[in-house]
Structure 1
Amino acid sequence: MEKQNLTRASQELFQRTPDESFESLRALSTYCRAKREQSVDVWHPPSQITPELIGEDFGVRLGSDGAFLLNDWSFSQLCKCAAVGKETINRLSPHTAASALKETLPRSNKPLQFYHRDQVIRSIHGTGYTRLHDSDVVAMLQEFAVDFQPPQVGMNGATGLYAGEQDLFCFLIDPQGWTEIEGEAFAPGFFIWNSEVGKRSIGIETFWFQAVCQNHIVWDATEVVEFTRKHTSSVHSALTEMKRIIEALVAKRDERRAGFIEVIGRAMRTKLGDDADEVLKTLTKNGIGRSVAKQAMAIAEQQGRFTIFALVDALTRLSGEIVNAGDRTDADERAGALLALAQ
């Protein structure tokens, strides 16, 4: 089984400002819906775009819709439309920058889409771009990821649920979804992201993990699967696909949980041997040291018989007394592997 550490959520944790972090999906949904309701699309051909100064700030006039300021992202997009480097324009004075962009913007009549909120342009796109709103993604999560929640709060107070002017990111886990994969404990989780202004694609990454630290690094993840889609005409079908992916993750969790419960039931009924000598021989054959095996047998015997479950439970208790974390993990893995004898 291959494992990997996932750092996507950790990167988000350290780059987000406090006002971009939300305590719950409900709070995140409220923000995203308000952002959507306050934003408007207008269409204008480049011939109706006039870069100009608005007070001391650089902006554009869009025909009869009036003057608008630009944020960093829409300014980058405007420079791209004009085929001029953003860094080059930033070196110029606002007045000179406006003149430079007037000269370099295309003169075609093919309209551009300007998405604005409170007289600030949030994004600029051509006709090939299709918007998928952050609020739609959050609504899908509220409907189909009901058992999932953010991990523990990060070391800087961030929650794993983020949204701002440019994008959305959610880190969700199922804290009650622990089950066994090849003798080790894992729980399901996923990252999901989107940008309704085209800063990033829409995507989801699902995984089974063993631990999440306060830096929101996902440790020892396995079965990592990623799906992404660009914001083109078919982008709304991505929501359907992500619903299917989350439903498949939940179904796999339920299947594994049911299988694990069945294994535990058999382990509680199945004896590892008919007498102490046979049990000791089986334990040592499966990598348990003779001394530890005898201690575990003494604990298990107090429960009445040498069932697989009683011995695994005893070995797990003994491993908790091991000081070194690596040795403790190895001992837990050897103990958990005994459950395979009940399958």
Structure 2
Amino acid sequence: MDNMQILEPARPVRGGYKVDVSRGERNGRVSSEWFNRPDDERYLSLDDLWASVKARSERSTSRIVETAKIHVEASRDNAERLQLILPKANAPLAPTHWAFGQLASLVGAPASYLRQLPAPLAGINLQYGLSGHRAEQIKTFETEDGRTELRAVTGPDYGRIYDHELVEAVQRIAGNGTGDTRWKVPGTLDWSTGVYNPDVDITRDTTTLYASDRDVFLFLVDDHNPIEAGKLPDGSPDLYFRGFYCWNSEVGAKTLGIASFYLRAVCQNRNIWGQEEFQEITIRHSKYAASRFAHEAAPALTRFANSSPSGFINGIKAARQQIVARTDEDRETFLRKRGFSKLEAGKIIDKVLVEEGHPPESIFDFVQGITRLARDKTQQDTRLELEGKAKKLLERAG
């Protein structure tokens, strides 16, 4: 792990920061991860997480084999206890649940159906599919862990980015992720006071550093360094923090991705509140994926970590200063020209009036009204469409 660019953390502020989470968007991606991860997939530091996935990669090997030369053995009742005999392999391979599904998919057999069959029948189906596999070759990913596990089965051109490589890229800017740099596991929002406290103990329940046998997911924030971008209706500062999350699967369960944004708070359930300026990079594990990660994704993460928030602040200020409507007729016309129905326009105006204490006048007012309307939508496509319109409006103001 060379070229470390560690930024010193700021001194903590007692009691935390008063924030207004009624503004901006809510992002539930991290909360979904938090809710679904068992304890053995939760890590308390980047060092511990890296050590786990690095050790796993060092016990792993990959090879390209001809599918016609793979032999399926079925000696138990459970279909997923099948073993594969590969050419020149020292021992049979036991496919993981994930690899079994990949293998079934590659040969055109429904995994859910095979799992219901007795092992001998499932083995016969897989063997038949392998013998007639048109692609002729597959790439295996095997890990020694007391027994040799088959962790992934992909096409021969699969471009693997190891989980530890992503963790190392994060460590270059975040150190251990526990507060030794400005980037750390987030604090929590106190809903009773509206105060976001960045100084919360990192436990299995609060951590946002996750790794399983098929993926990694990391979420860190710079929450000791608030960014002021304008004022709230009561005259207090409208505070933001920088944040990012990233993910990868070295076994093909998902793409590699990095998302960066500004946020106002993170709650106990790890929902992101008051999100603005969401940006995302994804890389498919195609033939040149490793090169794209090295030359595109990892540098982008470093740039965001070291960048000045001045562009974001100036964009918010420009949106606040750009007055586009002074009468009710102006407001409705402004929204209708941007694709909102008369009913939607009325709801957006009402949202701003209730929560800001005045009807929308500036670009920023309309953006806040649109994002608040989006929160009320239960259908994801509708919500994302509204959030997209709000984002475009804000970008044009900047």
| TM over 0.5, shorter chain | yes
Paired residue secondary structure (2:93)? strand
Aligned counterpart for 1:110 among listed residues 136, 140, 151: 136
Deviations 1:14-60 (A, max 9, x none): 11111111101111111111011011112210011111125552121
How far residue 212 of structure 1 moved from its aligned partner, in angstroms, is 0.5
Aligned counterpart for 2:247 among listed residues 155, 168, 193: 193
One-letter amino acid of the structure 1 residue matched with residue 222 of structure 2: D
Give the match for residue 250 of structure 1.
305
How far residue 197 of structure 1 moved from its aligned partner, in angstroms, is 0.5
Give the match for residue 238 of structure 1.
293
1:125 matches 2:151: no
TM-score, with normalisation over the residues of structure 2? 0.61
C-alpha RMSD of the superposition: 2.8
Question: Cα 1:88–1:257, aligned 2, differ >3 Å: closer, same or farther?
Answer: closer
Paired residue secondary structure (1:249)? helix
Give the match for residue 298 of structure 1.
none
1:30 matches 2:54: no
Give the match for residue 8 of structure 1.
29
One-letter amino acid of the structure 2 residue matched with residue 37 of structure 1: E
Paired residue secondary structure (1:178)? strand
Paired residue secondary structure (1:67)? coil
Give the match for residue 305 of structure 1.
none
1:148 matches 2:174: no
Give distance in 1, aligned partners of 2:281 and 2:254. Answer: 13
One-letter amino acid of the structure 2 residue matched with residue 216 of structure 1: R
Contact 2:248 2:254 in 1 (8 A): yes
Question: Cα 1:67–1:207, aligned 2, differ >3 Å: closer, same or farther?
Answer: same
Give the match for residue 71 of structure 1.
96
Paired residue secondary structure (1:203)? strand
Question: Cα 1:170–1:239, aligned 2, differ >3 Å: closer, same or farther?
Answer: farther
Question: Cα 1:250–1:181, aligned 2, differ >3 Å: closer, same or farther?
Answer: farther
Alignment of 1:1-343 (within 5 A): 3-55=24-76, 57-65=81-89, 66-105=91-130, 106-107=132-133, 110-118=136-144, 119-146=148-175, 147-152=182-187, 157-183=205-231, 184-236=238-290, 237-253=292-308, 255=310
Deviations 1:75-112 (A, max 9, x none): 00110121011112112100111011111223558321
Give distance in 1, aligned partners of 2:222 and 2:87. Answer: 51
CA radius of gyration, larger in: 1
How far residue 241 of structure 1 moved from its aligned partner, in angstroms, is 2.2
Contact 2:64 2:156 in 1 (8 A): no
Contact 1:60 1:67 in 2 (8 A): yes
Q: Report the structure, 1 or 2, having the larger helix content.
A: 1
Q: How many residues align?
A: 265
Give the match for residue 14 of structure 2.
none
How far residue 155 of structure 1 moved from its aligned partner, in angstroms, is 9.1
Give distance in 2, aligned partners of 1:191 and 1:83. Answer: 34
Gaps of 5+ in 1: 260-328, 332-343
One-letter amino acid of the structure 2 residue matched with residue 70 of structure 1: P
Give distance in 1, aligned partners of 2:211 and 2:24. Answer: 29
Question: Cα 1:246–1:145, aligned 2, differ >3 Å: closer, same or farther?
Answer: farther
How far residue 158 of structure 1 moved from its aligned partner, in angstroms, is 4.6
Give distance in 2, aligned partners of 1:81 and 1:21. Answer: 31
